[in-house]
Amino acid sequence: MAARVVVLGGGPAGDVAALRAAQMGAEVVLVERRDLGGTCLNRGCVPSKALLAISALAAKIQRADEFGLRVQGLSFDFPRMQARKDEIVLKMRGGVEAACKRHQVKVVREPGRLEGAAVTAGGAVFPYDHLVVCVGTEPAGLPGIDMSHPRVITSDGVWALTEIPQRLLIIGGGVIGCEFASLFAPLGADVTVVEMLPQLLTGVDRRTAQQFQRLLEGHGVKVHLGSKVEELSYRDQGISATLTGGTKLEADTLLVAVGRSPQTSGIGLEEAGVAVNQRGHVEVDEYLRTANQAIWGAGDCIGGLQLAHLASAEAARAVENALDPGRMRPMDRTVVPNCIFTNPEIATVGLHADLAREAGHEVRIGQARFVGEAKALAEGEPEGYVQLVADAQDDRLLGATIMGPHAVELIHEVGVAISDGFTMAELGDVIHAHPTVSEVVMDAAQQGHGVAPYLS
C-alpha cells in the first residue's frame, strides 16, 4: 500500500514536497488555503521581479544619452505594469497546477488543521502516514501603527496599488525594503528608507552595505539609519511621520517592511506534539523531523534564511527522509546562495570576510571590480565588485560576495566551486570567456594570489 503523505501549505516548499512525494510513489494530498505557489509566486519573489525588470529598464532608458540614444517623453503606465506582473504570475501558477495534475496530487484549496493523525480541510478528513508542514510566513506589522489604514501597506499591498506613490516611506532597510526602494525610485517616486539598525541589509558585510547605500542614495533614495518612526499622523491622502531626533517626513504611502511571521498558530501543531518556539517557528532536527516522528517541517515556517530555493530543497529532503528512512540525510545549508534583487544586485554564498574571521579562519581575500571588465563597461554597469574569501592556510574557498551586474547569476559559479572543494587558485585557473561579465570572478581569484595580469 502506498504511503499517505499530506502536505500543509502549497508554496515553494509545499509544492516541491507534494511533487517529490508523488515521484516516490506516495498517495499525496496538498492542502493550501490560498493560491498554489504561496507567497513566493503570488505575493513575493515572482511579482517583485516582474516589476523590478520594468524598473531596471526605466533606469537604463533614463541614461540613454550615455549610449548615444535620444529618448523623449518617458512615461509610466502602472496599471499595465501590474497587469504584466499578473500575467506572469498566472502563467507560473498554471505550471504548478499542471504539475500537480500530472503527478496525481490531490489539491485541496481550504484551510487545514491537524486533528490527531489526520488533517481536516473543507469538511473532509485526510489521514496521513507522514505530514509535511510548509505553512510559510506572512508580513509582520508594527505595534503602534494602524496597519488597517488605507495609506499603510505591507509587501502584500504593493500588488494592489493602482498608481506609483509620489512619496514612499519605507520602514525597514532589509532585503524587502531595499528591493522596493530600488523598484520605485526609477519610476519617479520620492523614496525614504528608515532603518533602526546602523546599516542596511544586515545579512551582508558592512563594506558592501555601505557601498550599496551610497549607490542607492545616488539614485535619489534618502536613508535614515539608527532611526525609528516615533510618531505618525494619518490623513486620507497621506501620512506624517516624526523620526528619532525630530526629523519630520510626509508620505503618500507607508510601506512596513520589517520582516515576516510564521503562520503556525491555531492549526493544531502543539496538540499534535510538534514543538513551536517563542517566535512561532516549527522546531525540527537535522533531518527536518519534528518531535512527532510522523510530522516533518520545511521552508520559512521552520526559521533560518527565508529563501524560496532553500525552502524547496528542505522540502525535497524532508520527503526523501520520510519515505526512504534507510537512507536519511541531514540538511546541509553550508552552500546556499542568497540573492538580493536591488540595483545593483547583491549576492552572497558561504561566509563573507567578517563571518569567516569570527569563525576563526585566517582569511585570504581575492577582489576585482566590475569597472575593469569590458563587458560590464559596454553594458553601462561598472559599479560593484566580486570579493572571494578563502582560508589562508589551505586556500579552500569559504564564500563570496558579489555586488554588481548579473550578481544573482554569477554567484552560482562560486557556490559550485565551494561545494566541490575548490581552492581560490583552482578557481582562478578556470578559463573564462572574454569579454564577459563573469571574468570578474576569475580576476578576483587570480588577484587573491597576486597573478591577475591587470590587477596584481
Q: Which residue is listed with cell 493523525?
A: 117
Distance CA 109, CA 29 (A): 11
Of the candidates 339, 262, 266, the one whose C-alpha atom is nearest the C-alpha of residue 297 is 262
Cα torsion through 313, 317, 320, 324, rounded to 10: 160
Contact 369, 381 (CB under 8 A): no
**H or E, element range at 18:** helix 12-23
Distance CA 331, CA 353 (A): 24
Catalytic residues: 434
Q: Which residue is listed with cell 551586474?
A: 405
Contact 423, 364 (CB under 8 A): no
- In whole angstroms, what separates CA 282 from the centre of its chain? 20
Contact 429, 366 (CB under 8 A): no
Contact 18, 30 (CB under 8 A): yes
- In whole angstroms, what separates CA 298 from the centre of its chain? 16
List, in sequence order, every residue forming a beta bridge with 250; answer none if it has no partner: 240
Contact 243, 227 (CB under 8 A): yes
| DSSP label at residue 180 | H
Task: Read off φ and ψ for residue 226, nearest 5 degrees.
Answer: 60, 30
Distance CA 140, CA 262 (A): 9
Per-residue exposure over 224-251, b if at least 16 CB sit within 10 Å of its own CB, e if not:
beebebeebeeeeebbebebeeeeebeb
**H or E, element range at 438:** none
For residue 435, whether the previous peptide bond is cis, meaning omega lies within 30 degrees of 0, is: yes
Distance CA 253, CA 235 (A): 11
Q: What residue type is assigned to position 9 of the chain?
A: G
Per-residue exposure over 82-107, b if at least 16 CB sit within 10 Å of its own CB, e if not:
beebeebbeebbeebbebbeeeebeb
Of the candidates 107, 110, 83, 81, the one whose C-alpha atom is nearest the C-alpha of residue 94 is 107
